[in-house]
Structure 1
Amino acid sequence: MDIYFVIAFGVIVLFSSLVHGSIGFGFGMISTPLVALFTDIQTTITYMLIPTMLVNIISILSEGKFFEALKKFWFIILLMVIGSALGTVLLVYTNSNYFKLLLAFIIFVYLLQSFVKIEATFISSYPKSSTYGLGLIGGIISGLTNIVAPLMIMYTLELKYTKKDTIQLSNLCFLFTKIGQLIVFISLGAFSNEAFELSILSIVIVCLGMLLGIKIKRKIDAKFYAKILKALLFIIALTLVYQTLFL
C-alpha cells in the first residue's frame, strides 16, 4: 500500500473525526469524498466502514440514553439497514465510478439545503410513508455513497425532532447500516486485507480526533466553523465531478 496514501488517509480520518466530535456529525460527509479523490467509491467505503462505526459508537455513548433512542427509532433503523444492504450489493456488482457523481450530488443538495429552506411538508403530512421512504431510499443511497445527511436533515426538521434526537438518529442509523454493509462486503469477499489494516490504523486516530473535537466543542465559533466546512465540501464535490467526467 502506498505510504503517501496511508498518510493522507490518516490526516483525513483525524480531521473528519475532530469535526464530528465538535459538532456531533459530519465524519462520513467529509471523509468519504476526500478518500474517494484517491480511489474508487467501493474501496473508499470499505476503508471507511470501521472508522465510521467507531465514530458513531463514541458519539452515541457521549449523547447517552442509547437504549431509549434505539427503542424510539428501531423501525427506521431497520429499514435503513435493509436499504443499505441492497445498495451495497449494487455497489459490489457494478462498482461504477459514476457513483462519485451521486456522492457529489448529495453534497450539493446538502449545501443547497443549508442556504435555501427546502420545504418538505409531505413528510409531516405523511409521516409513515416518509419513514418508509427515508429508510429504504436513504439506506440505498447510504450503501452507495456513505452519505444520507440531506434526507435525514429534512426528515428530522419537518418532524420537529430535537437536536439530540437528530444526532442520535443519525449516528444509530449509520452505525447499524455500517454493520450491515460490513457483513455484506465480507460475505461477498469484497472486504480486503488493506481495508482491515487501515481500519486497525484508524482506531487510535479516530479516538484522538473525537477526543479533541469534544474538548473544543464549546470553544469554537460554530457559524464560522460551519462556513469553512461548507466551502471545503463545495470544493471537494466540484473536484469529484471534474475527476469523474474529465480524467
Structure 2
Amino acid sequence: MDLNLDFLIIISFIIFVSALVHGTIGFGFAILATPLLAMVTDMKTAILYIAIPTLFINLISIYSEGNFFQAVKKFYPLALMGMIGSAIGTQILIYSSSELFKLLLAFSILLYLFIQKFKIEMKWIRQKKKLSMVVFGLLAGIVGGLTNVMGSILIIYSLESKHSKKDIIQSTNLCFLFGKIIQIILFAIHGSFNEELLIVSFSTLIVVVIAMIVGLNIKDKIPQEIYKKVIKLVLFLMASFLVYQTI
C-alpha cells in the first residue's frame, strides 16, 4: 500500500488504541494491532509496521514496573527460550505464511480458559519449573514469530506459576522484547524493511508515548483480582477475534 494520509490516520488510530490497552493491562499491543493492521495490509507487513513501536512499548512496560535489571536477571532464561523460538517462527513466516497459525493460537487460549473454568490446574508447571520454562518459552517464541502474539501463552505460564501482576507484566514484555529483537534482525537480513516502513514506524512513536502514559495511569488503579479477570476476558476476546479472522 502506498504511503498516504488516510493510511497514516488508520495506522495511528490502531496503534493508539492498542498501546492504550497495553499500558492499562500490561500486554495486548501486538495481539490487537497485528490483526487490525492485517485487515488493510498482509500479515507480514503488519508485523513489520509495528516492530519498532513494539520494542519501545515493551521497554516502557518493563521499566514502569521498577527494578528493571532485577526483572532481566529473574526472567532472562524464559526470554532466551522465547528468543530462540521467535527465530524459528520468524524463519517459517518469512518463507511460508498460513492463517492456520492463528487458529492454533486461538485454540490454545480457549483450552486454557476451559481449564480455568473447571478449576483444572497444570501443577507440573510449578513442580517442574525449568522444564515448563523451556517448553512455554520456546512455544511462545515460535507462535510469536509466526503470528506476532506470544503474550497469551506466556500469561498461561505466569498465571499457573502464581506470578504477581508485576511479574506477569515484566516477564511477558521481556520475552516479547527479546523475541522482537531477533525478529527485526532476521527481517533486516532478509531485506524486508524499506523506507516507507521505517518512516511509518518511527512517526507513530509519539502516538505510542501518549497512549502509554494514559494507559499506565489507569493501570495503577486496577486491583490484583480485577486485573486477573480482565486478563481472562481479554484472552477470550483475542481468541474469538482470531477464530473470526481465520474463518
TM over 0.5: yes
SS in 2 for 1:90: helix
User: In the alignment, what sits opposite 2:246?
Assistant: 241
**Distance change in 2, residues 1:129/1:233 (3 Å):** closer
Q: Look up the equivalent residue of 1:155 and give its one-letter code.
A: Y
Q: CA deviation at 1:98?
A: 3.8
Maintained 8 Å contact 2:16/2:207 = yes
SS in 2 for 1:236: helix
Counterpart selection for 1:15 from 11, 14, 17: 17
Counterpart selection for 1:186 from 177, 185, 188: 188
Matches within 5 A, 1:141-180: 141-180=143-182
Q: CA deviation at 1:115?
A: 5.0
Counterpart selection for 2:40 from 38, 41, 53: 38
Distance 2:49 2:120 in 1: 33
Q: Look up the equivalent residue of 2:246 and give its one-letter code.
A: V
Matches within 5 A, 1:1-247: 1=2, 2-102=4-104, 104-105=106-107, 108=110, 117=119, 119-218=121-220, 229=234, 233=238, 236-242=241-247
Deviation larger for 62-71 or 229-238: 229-238
Distance 1:135 1:227 in 2: 20
**Distance change in 2, residues 1:113/1:184 (3 Å):** farther
- Structure 1 residues 40-60: Cα deviation after superposition (integer angstroms, max 9, x where no partner): 221111112111111111111
Structure 2 unaligned segments of length 5 or more: list them.
none
**Distance change in 2, residues 1:104/1:32 (3 Å):** farther
Q: Look up the equivalent residue of 1:214 and give its one-letter code.
A: L
Q: Look up the equivalent residue of 1:36 and give its one-letter code.
A: A
Q: CA deviation at 1:114?
A: 6.6
**Distance change in 2, residues 1:37/1:236 (3 Å):** farther
Maintained 8 Å contact 1:27/1:52 = yes
Deviation larger for 222-231 or 232-241: 222-231
Q: Cα RMSD (Å) of the superposition? A: 2.6
Q: CA deviation at 1:113?
A: 6.4
TM-score (norm 2): 0.85
TM-score (norm 1): 0.85
SS in 1 for 2:121: coil
- Percent identity between the two aligned chains: 44
Q: Look up the equivalent residue of 2:213 and give its one-letter code.
A: L
Q: Look up the equivalent residue of 2:126 and give its one-letter code.
A: S
Maintained 8 Å contact 1:37/1:240 = no
Maintained 8 Å contact 1:41/1:99 = no
**Distance change in 2, residues 1:113/1:163 (3 Å):** farther
Maintained 8 Å contact 1:110/1:149 = no
SS in 2 for 1:95: coil
